[in-house]
Structure 1
Amino acid sequence: MRLGNGLGIRAVRTWLPPTVQTARDAVAHGRIDDEDVAAVGVTEVPVAEADSAPDMAVAAARAALTAAGWDGAGLGFTTHAWIHHQGHDFWSPAHYVAHRLGAARGVPLGIQVMCNGGGTALEAAAARLLADPATGRALVTTGDRFPDEGFDRWAGDYGVFYGDGATALLLHGRDDTVDEFTLLGVSSAAVSAAEGLHRGRDPFTPASRWISDRVDVKRTKKAFITDEGLDGFYRGVHAALRDIVTTALAEAGIETDDPRIRLLALPRVGVKVRRETYHPAVDGLTKARIVELGGRTGHLGAGDMTANLTAIGEQELLAPGEVAVAVSAGGGFGFTCAVVARPVRS
């Protein structure tokens, strides 16, 4: 997506619950073993004891709005993304978030495309601002919670530990005097032939969790790998990843060897998964250093990209004028790359 002179990320925030569970405790309780910990490389994950996923998204949004000095009533577009149960069976969490923030001017959009929801939501917000400048200000939120009743955050998937949390990003017309980042380019791609990794051999069912009491990602992945193998999956994914990175940079007017590209942030999945799925595609593609930012959160569902942007800002990993490349990915499979820069204040 060509963004012209770019859009402004006015503020980006991550909200995490104060309670954590450690990988060492999970090993002690027999939920995972030392080999799992080494393969994932995550030491702890945040765990929400009472807050719902949409309420965490509201908290993240309020933090972003406060940082920006904005009011929810001024938002012309809101979108909320998630991957897991939002607290009610037949309901729109996107409208709940908008309602709690007083964002009555725009029509909320809910996005459920697995873990690339945050990247897809960012692209949707950018498109809305470009198509209708009267929108003015847009909000992107994500929120996910993985309670034991429905999801085994430690052992329910291969190479991923899942943390609870939410993110929020405010997007508007570029203003280098106040923006935390400038969004210079966004590109997405899909490998829809790989949707079976999260379907496996399971039949279509009349209600959620019909086959097992808890979501079992390993069951569907094992069936898909047995039936289809992974060679085709890796070929498609690696091609898609290279395409979104090079396209987003090209649309931003930045060459892949530009020394301003300092960082490349990947989804907060395990070390082994990143090395097998992502590194073969992105290693050497730019001169950027690949940063590991999820060691104390694990995978935040739809929120990895936004959480990575928050961390880049909080840790001051970019100097003014420097560029970061953030990659989002999710089952389906879908991928989004955002190219952002730290503004140079005039």
Structure 2
Amino acid sequence: MKTDHLYIAGLAAHLPRLWPIAEAIAAGRSGAEQARDDGWISVSVADDTPAPELAAEAARLALKRSGLTAEDVRLVLHAGIYHQGPDGWFAANYVQDQVLGTTAPAIGLNQGCTAMLDGTRLAHDHLVHAPQGSAVLVSAADNFGAPTVDRFTYAHGWSTGRGSILGDSGCAVLLSATAGPLRIRSLVQSSLSSWERLYRGTEEMFPPGAAGGTSIPLGLRMGAYADQVTDRDLRMAMARELMEARTAVARQAIDEAGVTSADITRVTHVFSGNLRYMQGLLRPLGIAPERGMLDLGRTVGHLGACDQFLSLAHLVDTGTVGPGDHVLLMSNGGSLSLAAAVVEIVDHPTW
């Protein structure tokens, strides 16, 4: 989808403390040595700060940076890939109350690692029909410090060839149809719903595991599903299907933005621990792996739905990108959703 009038008016991220992997190893943390071997340097840890408060911190700063008022925000969308608080409670309303104090609709998203980009698409469609000057707040956050998930070992049992650990963060973006220093030129989404069982494995759907306080062994689920696919050719075909679908979504985003791969200054993506993943992600697009965000990712961990926009905020805040540059945002998430967008840096943000 080509987006003619979609701007980022404000953008911010909130990172808590960074825990060096060397300290985690010294503390005897299971899985920490493997994380070191996979290339991780440190991981972002929020201790006992609730995930929605991480999002609220980022949203307050994004709102301040945007120059918009709370009343300008006509819709609030909030996402997280892990539990946000008590069951039956909705974090989107918390973010709205803490940051805006308004009565606009507040809606939660449950779309895994692509949620921020999915929320951006929903914001675009909302702004088409909203009054002039309206804005949409999209936020995301996770704190993976709870007992039912282990940030170092959650992916063990499934060989992705890239390693993965989970970090805590919050991020937020204020989207406008009228003005902003960053312009979203295109946004493409897709899904491979036949892969949903990869994230379900052999686990029963009812009763939900979370209801019994069981852990989230995502890697073991994936491994259990892979074990059932005994045909090697079929497994290879599945891997190719994912790579080709991911590349196709990104290629479409580049084409619909009216640019080429050579015009892409940097790429934000799901944070991974090694160069092999970056090569598989970017080389099919004709983009050098060095244009990715591997070095930043190695210091914070995989941040759920925040990887792409936290990276974008980092690039803008550090002056790594400037007017005329284009950033490709790529994401793939659970069960399996795919999304990509191209963002043009129109002007130096006032912040």
Same fold (TM over 0.5): yes
Match of residue 261 from structure 1: 264
8 Å CA contact 1:187, 1:244 repeated in 2? yes
Return the alpha-carbon distance in structure 2 between the equivalents of residues 164 and 72 of structure 1: 26
Aligned length: 334
> What is the DSSP-based 3-state SS (H/G/I as helix, E as strand, rest coil) of the residue aligned with 1:2?
coil
**Which digits, 9 at most, give the CA deviation of each residue in 1:155-194, with x for residues without a partner?**
111421111110000110243xxx3311111111111122
8 Å CA contact 2:72, 2:133 repeated in 1? no
Return the alpha-carbon distance in structure 2 between the equivalents of residues 46 and 344 of structure 1: 30
Return the alpha-carbon distance in structure 2 between the equivalents of residues 269 and 280 of structure 1: 12
Task: Indicate how the Cα distance of structure 1 residues 174 and 71 shifts in structure 2: closer, same or farther if over 3 A, else same.
Answer: closer
**Which digits, 9 at most, give the CA deviation of each residue in 1:21-42, with x for residues without a partner?**
2212232304125444222x22
Task: Indicate how the Cα distance of structure 1 residues 215 and 241 shifts in structure 2: closer, same or farther if over 3 A, else same.
Answer: same
Return the alpha-carbon distance in structure 2 between the equivalents of residues 170 and 88 of structure 1: 27
Task: Indicate how the Cα distance of structure 1 residues 93 and 211 shifts in structure 2: closer, same or farther if over 3 A, else same.
Answer: closer
Matched ranges for 1:80-159 at <5 A: 80-102=78-100, 104-134=102-132, 136-158=134-156, 159=163
Determine which of 62, 65, 88 is the counterpart of 1:64.
62
Match of residue 225 from structure 2: 224
Match of residue 246 from structure 2: 241
Return the alpha-carbon distance in structure 2 between the equivalents of residues 124 and 70 of structure 1: 20
Question: What's the TM-score, normalizing by structure 2?
Answer: 0.88
> What is the DSSP-based 3-state SS (H/G/I as helix, E as strand, rest coil) of the residue aligned with 2:343?
strand
Structure with greater helix percent: 2
Match of residue 2 from structure 1: 2
Return the alpha-carbon distance in structure 2 between the equivalents of residues 330 and 54 of structure 1: 20
What is the CA-CA distance between 1:144 and the residue it aligns to?
0.4
**Which digits, 9 at most, give the CA deviation of each residue in 1:114-145, with x for residues without a partner?**
11111211221122112435471111100101
8 Å CA contact 1:118, 1:328 repeated in 2? no
1:341 aligns with 2:344: yes
Return the alpha-carbon distance in structure 2 between the equivalents of residues 36 and 137 of structure 1: 40
**Which digits, 9 at most, give the CA deviation of each residue in 1:42-80, with x for residues without a partner?**
211121122111111111100111112222232011100
Match of residue 302 from structure 1: 305
Task: Indicate how the Cα distance of structure 1 residues 170 and 210 shifts in structure 2: closer, same or farther if over 3 A, else same.
Answer: closer
> What is the DSSP-based 3-state SS (H/G/I as helix, E as strand, rest coil) of the residue aligned with 2:116?
helix
Question: What's the TM-score, normalizing by structure 1?
Answer: 0.89
> What is the DSSP-based 3-state SS (H/G/I as helix, E as strand, rest coil) of the residue aligned with 2:30?
coil
8 Å CA contact 2:79, 2:109 repeated in 1? yes
Determine which of 144, 159, 164 is the counterpart of 1:160.
164
What is the CA-CA distance between 1:321 and the residue it aligns to?
0.5
Q: Which runs of 5+ in 2 are unaligned?
A: 157-162
> What is the DSSP-based 3-state SS (H/G/I as helix, E as strand, rest coil) of the residue aligned with 1:301?
coil
1:15 aligns with 2:17: no
Task: Indicate how the Cα distance of structure 1 residues 191 and 122 shifts in structure 2: closer, same or farther if over 3 A, else same.
Answer: same
Return the alpha-carbon distance in structure 1 between the equivalents of residues 314 and 62 of structure 2: 14
8 Å CA contact 1:199, 1:220 repeated in 2? yes
Q: Give the root-mean-square deviation of aligned CA atoms.
A: 2.1
What is the CA-CA distance between 1:195 and the residue it aligns to?
1.4
What is the CA-CA distance between 1:210 and the residue it aligns to?
5.4
Match of residue 214 from structure 1: 215
Name the stretch that deviates more: 55-64 or 189-198.
189-198
Q: Which runs of 5+ in 1 are unaligned?
A: none
Write the letter of the residue equivalent to 1:222.
G
Question: Runs of 4+ in structure 1 displaced over 4 angstroms?
Answer: none
Write the letter of the residue equivalent to 1:16.
L
Match of residue 311 from structure 1: 314
8 Å CA contact 1:129, 1:135 repeated in 2? no
> What is the DSSP-based 3-state SS (H/G/I as helix, E as strand, rest coil) of the residue aligned with 1:248?
helix
Return the alpha-carbon distance in structure 1 between the equivalents of residues 63 and 347 of structure 2: 22
Return the alpha-carbon distance in structure 1 between the equivalents of residues 213 and 87 of structure 2: 17
Write the letter of the residue equivalent to 1:89.
D
8 Å CA contact 1:76, 1:135 repeated in 2? no
Return the alpha-carbon distance in structure 1 between the equivalents of residues 89 and 32 of structure 2: 38
Write the letter of the residue equivalent to 2:338.
F
What is the CA-CA distance between 1:290 and the residue it aligns to?
2.5
